[in-house]
Homo-oligomer: A and B are copies of this chain.
Amino acid sequence: MKRSYIRKILDAIDKDTISFAGGLPNEDLFPLKQISKASKKVLKDRSSLQYSKSQGIDSLREKIANFYTRVYNLETTKDEILITTGSQQAFDIILKSLNANNLIVESPSYIGALSSFRILKKDIKEFKTFEQLNNILKKDEILYCISDYQNPSTYTYTKKQREKVANILKEKDAYLIEDAAYSLLNFKGKIKKPICSFYKDKSYHLGTFSKIVAPGLRVGWIRANKELIEKILVVKESLDLHTSTFNQMLIDSYLDDNDLFKHIKKNAKNYKKRMNYMAECMEKYLPNFEFERPKGGMFIYGKFNNIKDSMQLATKALEKKVAFVPAQVFYFDEQISNEARFNFTNCNFKQTKEGIKILAKLTK
């Protein structure tokens, strides 16, 4: 077992480092005043500091269920929602509740999910094409995928592809873990129907307030049918009893008094600007880095045409106080790669330009 490359560099970097590495939302966009107001309200109620139900507080689950019904057009009740301590926790909880030993993941995939699967000693296979997926996936195995602005590739499944994946799952009678960390954070304000809306029986849909409100509160959720929720509830209570009552009530109160989707729209507009600026800097100073501008999320992903191993570049860049993530860590087999992921939400324009220029020098 070893630490995640990303968490390790997040620990290592200091304030002088220009970091394109983590998936950190921009702090300036946190609704600090609104959370302060919510905190005042919530702390009038002593039960905010008490133990609470393992599935999560009713009122917050009700609101999340309403998102699904209203925003994803997928009818959902509060009994189909379980609150998690961040979305990351969902992997451990779901996997422990199932007997499945085999996981099929996109190649590349989210490093945090891979770590979680590894620690539970699951067998992991990667797929690049739907044909491969169709060949690999077997009954009761688990497909893990991120259907919107995939981390790291930024790829978004088309409607046809979603239906296709749902059909493969149906045919194989397999489980789906659909990670929707970035789904609501899109630049055009168009929200696609999740794969799980085409495959309801054996699917889990993961959501989080980390990317749209504040990650420091560690509040996420799992949507699944009641039968699956009852199974994961047993695991959740044994893991940490329940997610912080106070933090759940904070977000619940924040949602009472604020328009979440207005807030998300503001964030997305801000992030789109940052993405476009980074893209322009890359096109100007790093012409050998090939990428497509993403339509949402927090990353630009692409490949260097003039170097073979982005890990070597990342190591050199860190010495020059610039951090990004070489794609090797996103591949389960850790193959050497010329691909790389750049976060654009956390640096200002000046830092972005400077960081890209430093990388340009290093790749010349």
Residues of A participating in the B interface, judged by any CB pair closer than 8 Å: 1-4, 7, 10-11, 22, 24-25, 27-28, 30, 32, 35-36, 39-40, 43, 46-54, 85-86, 88-89, 92, 96-97, 112, 115-116, 118-120, 210, 214-218, 231, 233-235, 237-247
Cβ-defined partner of A46 (8 Å) among B30, B49, B52, B118: B30
Chain B residues, CB < 8 A from A233: 3
The reply to whether B231 and A1 contact each other, CB–CB distance below 8 Å, is yes
Cβ-defined partner of A237 (8 Å) among B48, B115, B216, B234: B115
Cβ-defined partner of A22 (8 Å) among B11, B30, B51, B239: B51
A50–chain B nearest beta-carbon distance, Å:
5
- The complex places the Cα of A247 from the Cα of B86 at a distance, in Å, of 14
Chain B residues, CB < 8 A from A88: 238-241
The reply to whether A3 and B237 contact each other, CB–CB distance below 8 Å, is yes
A215–chain B nearest beta-carbon distance, Å:
5
Chain B residues, CB < 8 A from A47: 27, 216
The 20 sampled A-B contact pairs (Cβ below 8 Å) are A1-B235, A3-B237, A7-B54, A10-B51, A25-B50, A27-B46, A27-B49, A28-B46, A39-B40, A48-B216, A49-B216, A85-B244, A89-B239, A92-B92, A116-B238, A116-B239, A216-B245, A218-B240, A218-B244, A239-B239
Most buried by B among A53, A92, A239, A240: A240
- The complex places the Cα of A199 from the Cα of B3 at a distance, in Å, of 28
Cβ-defined partner of A218 (8 Å) among B85, B92, B235: B85
Cβ-defined partner of A50 (8 Å) among B46, B112, B216, B239: B216
Cβ-defined partner of A52 (8 Å) among B36, B51, B53, B216: B216
A40–chain B nearest beta-carbon distance, Å:
7
A300–chain B nearest beta-carbon distance, Å:
20
- The complex places the Cα of A40 from the Cα of B39 at a distance, in Å, of 8
A36 closest partner in B (C-beta): B43
A43 closest partner in B (C-beta): B36
Chain B residues, CB < 8 A from A237: 3-4, 7, 115
- The complex places the Cα of A112 from the Cα of B240 at a distance, in Å, of 9
Chain B residues, CB < 8 A from A97: 1
Chain B residues, CB < 8 A from A210: 51
